[in-house]
């Protein structure tokens, strides 16, 4: 009988062509990032901190120029003061939308924390007289193109597209699927703002949503674009007028993005972005291996190993909540930090259900590092994401096979 290492090696031989595709995408994205660094002539002094108001912070300005080029934007905001991807997205929504404006989610109900911001909590968009609609996904878990055409009108101010799956069974959107949605919306009215929640999707493909016709994207620096090095922060990229309007919400009208001290050495943000294409490729290779082996042993996974990916998240379905915890505990026990922590479901701010979260990470909550979390609700799915090195994910897979693989 083959041992686990032999099984993994055999799987890697089967996945060799897939891994080459992932590495080629990483190479194209690495060139894109490198050319941006070279264009703006990055120097060591760009990494230095600033204080007070942060006026004339050249390093901050250059970093934002680089992000704008990498993501094909006219302008960007990249700040450690943005506490999460949800914060970045909320800044975009509150910074642009006003009473009477219509926002439509084209990808169903947003993930829990964002749904609270839009409609569920005091101080939400809806409480500020912003009209909101959700278009349910079709039977395949994809955006419903017919309902999109019926629901979006020339008076719609903004449509929201969530690239990743959140805590749902629906697949992440590929760039091609987003482009189809964007064309439908722009055919109705070119002035409708197409806003992409880009969390978990950066550098998964060789192009980004702004290249597919979106107007605005936002995400977290402790996910893909921070490369595992950024200690905090978020980014917003888009058209110049939208970015300026959002910056007035983040600071104050008339002040905008000219303020904001860099209290942390910016090398982490520069180097993290430079590392990001490679780090994302490591995470995707690891998720592909995990999907292939679990699928071979009877588990339902999404996406399947040979499906085109829109993000780094790998969903695995289990029979009950305890099986989910067992899976997450293996990830936690195989982590470089807090490996001895015992997991349980608990309450987290912004979530409807109790959550279990395996996150033995160097940066708290970093989900470009190998992590795994799940809500305590049906269907019982664990959502694994990240991995700074393929070798780490490979090891975790060997532990999974040893503990929970069905014989």
- Structure-block tokens of residue 78: 């990249």
Across residues 157-176, what is the average pLDDT? Answer: 94
Q: What is the pLDDT of residue 1?
A: 45
Across residues 199-214, what is the average pLDDT? Answer: 98
Is 360 a domain residue? yes
Distance (Å, whole) CA 239 – CA 333: 44
Q: What is the pLDDT of residue 404?
A: 73
Pair (267, 169) in one structural domain: yes
- Residue 168: band (very low, low, confident or very high) from pLDDT cuts 50, 70, 90: confident
Q: What is the pLDDT of residue 4?
A: 87
Residue 258 has pLDDT above 50, yes or no: yes
Residue 319 has pLDDT above 50, yes or no: yes
Contact in structure between 210 and 72 (CB atoms under 8 Å): yes
Pair (110, 247) in one structural domain: yes
pLDDT over 70, % of the chain = 99
Q: What is the pLDDT of residue 406?
A: 53
Q: What is the CATH number of the domain that holds 292?
A: 3.90.1150.60
Domain that holds residue 116: 39-272
Beta-carbon contacts of 122 under 8 Å, excluding residues fewer than 6 positions away, are none
User: What residue has token string 């980014």?
Assistant: 235
Terminal C-alpha separation, the chain: 12
Tell me the per-residue pLDDT of 89-140, one tens digit each, with 9 for 90 and over. Answer: 999 999 999 999 999 999 999 988 899 999 988 999 999 999 999 999 999 9
Q: What is the pLDDT of residue 108?
A: 95
User: What residue has token string 């008076």?
Assistant: 155
Residue 36 has pLDDT above 70, yes or no: yes
Contact in structure between 318 and 380 (CB atoms under 8 Å): yes
Task: Pick the last residue of a domain from 226, 243, 272.
Answer: 272
Query: CB atoms < 10 A from the CB of 349, how many?
Result: 6
Q: What is the pLDDT of residue 103?
A: 98
Residues in the chain: 407
Pair (191, 315) in one structural domain: no
User: What residue has token string 């002094």?
Assistant: 45
- Residue 34: band (very low, low, confident or very high) from pLDDT cuts 50, 70, 90: very high
Task: Pick the last residue of a domain from 212, 244, 272.
Answer: 272
**Number of domains, the chain:** 2
Q: Is the pTM of this model over 0.75?
A: yes
Closest CA to 80 of 271, 274, 265: 265
- Residue 346: band (very low, low, confident or very high) from pLDDT cuts 50, 70, 90: very high
Pair (325, 178) in one structural domain: no
Q: What is the pLDDT of residue 51?
A: 96
Tell me the per-residue pLDDT of 289-307, one tens digit each, with 9 for 90 and over. Answer: 999 999 999 999 999 999 9
Coil, strand or helix at 137 = coil
Pair (283, 268) in one structural domain: no
- Structure-block tokens of residue 288: 């592909």
Is 281 a domain residue? yes
Q: What is the pLDDT of residue 161?
A: 98
Distance (Å, whole) CA 209 – CA 189: 18
Is 397 a domain residue? yes
Coil, strand or helix at 222 = coil
- For the packed helices 16-39 and 58-70, what is the interaxial angle rounded to 10 degrees? 140
Is 74 a domain residue? yes
Is 33 a domain residue? no
CA distances to 39, 68, 73, 207, 279 from 25, rounded to whole Å, are 21, 20, 20, 9, 12
Residue 192 has pLDDT above 50, yes or no: yes
Contact in structure between 78 and 64 (CB atoms under 8 Å): yes
Residue 407 has pLDDT above 50, yes or no: no
Q: Starting from the edge strand earliest in sequence, which strands make up the sheet with 131-134, in order?
A: 75-79, 234-238, 216-220, 193-197, 158-162, 102-105, 131-134
Pair (261, 340) in one structural domain: no
Pair (63, 10) in one structural domain: no
User: What residue has token string 């190998």?
Assistant: 370
Across residues 367-381, what is the average pLDDT? Answer: 95
Residue 350 has pLDDT above 80, yes or no: no
- For the packed helices 267-296 and 4-14, what is the interaxial angle rounded to 10 degrees? 100
Distance (Å, whole) CA 131 – CA 127: 9
- Structure-block tokens of residue 373: 């979390």
Pair (79, 166) in one structural domain: yes
Pair (123, 243) in one structural domain: yes
Beta-carbon contacts of 287 under 8 Å, excluding residues fewer than 6 positions away, are 309, 312, 313, 314, 384, 385, 387, 393
Q: What is the pLDDT of residue 349?
A: 80
Task: Pick the last residue of a domain from 213, 238, 272.
Answer: 272
Residue-averaged pLDDT of the chain? 95
Pair (210, 326) in one structural domain: no
Pair (193, 165) in one structural domain: yes
């Amino acid at each position: 009988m083959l041992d686990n290492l032999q099984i993994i090696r055999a799987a890697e031989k089967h996945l060799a062509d897939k891994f080459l595709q992932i590495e080629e995408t990483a190479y194209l994205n690495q060139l894109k990032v490198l050319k941006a660094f070279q264009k703006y002539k990055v120097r060591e002094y760009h990494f230095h901190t600033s204080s007070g108001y942060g006026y004339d912070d050249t390093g901050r300005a250059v970093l934002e120029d680089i992000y704008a080029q990498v993501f094909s934007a006219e302008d960007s905001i990249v700040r450690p003061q943005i506490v999460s991807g949800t914060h970045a997205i909320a800044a975009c929504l509150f910074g642009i939308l006003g009473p009477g404006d219509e926002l439509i989610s084209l990808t169903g109900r947003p993930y829990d924390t964002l749904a609270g911001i839009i409609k569920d909590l005091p101080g939400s968009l809806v409480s500020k007289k912003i009209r909101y609609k959700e278009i349910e996904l079709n039977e395949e878990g994809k955006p419903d193109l017919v309902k999109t055409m019926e629901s979006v009108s020339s008076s719609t101010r903004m449509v929201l597209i969530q690239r990743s799956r959140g805590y749902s069974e629906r697949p992440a959107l590929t760039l091609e699927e987003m482009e189809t949605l964007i064309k439908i919306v722009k055919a109705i009215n070119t002035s409708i703002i197409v806003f992409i929640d880009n969390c978990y999707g950066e550098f998964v493909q060789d192009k980004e949503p702004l290249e597919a016709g979106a107007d605005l994207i936002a995400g977290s620096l402790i996910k893909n674009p921070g490369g595992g090095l950024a200690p905090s922060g978020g980014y917003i990229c888009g058209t110049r007028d939208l970015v300026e309007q959002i910056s007035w919400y983040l600071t104050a009208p008339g002040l905008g993005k000219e303020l904001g001290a860099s209290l942390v050495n910016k090398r982490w943000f520069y180097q993290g972005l430079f590392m990001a294409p490679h780090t994302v490729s490591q995470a995707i290779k690891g998720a592909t291996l995990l999907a292939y082996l679990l699928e071979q042993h009877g588990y339902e996974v999404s996406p399947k190993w040979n499906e085109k990916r829109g993000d780094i998240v790998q969903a695995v379905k289990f029979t009950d909540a305890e099986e989910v915890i067992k899976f997450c505990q293996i990830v936690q026990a195989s982590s470089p930090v807090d490996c001895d922590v015992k997991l349980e479901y608990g309450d987290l701010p912004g979530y409807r259900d109790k959550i279990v979260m395996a996150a033995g990470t160097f940066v708290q909550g970093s989900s470009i590092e190998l992590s795994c979390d799940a809500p305590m609700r049906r269907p019982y799915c664990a959502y694994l994401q990240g991995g700074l090195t393929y070798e780490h994910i490979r090891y975790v897979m060997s532990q999974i096979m040893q503990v929970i693989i069905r014989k």
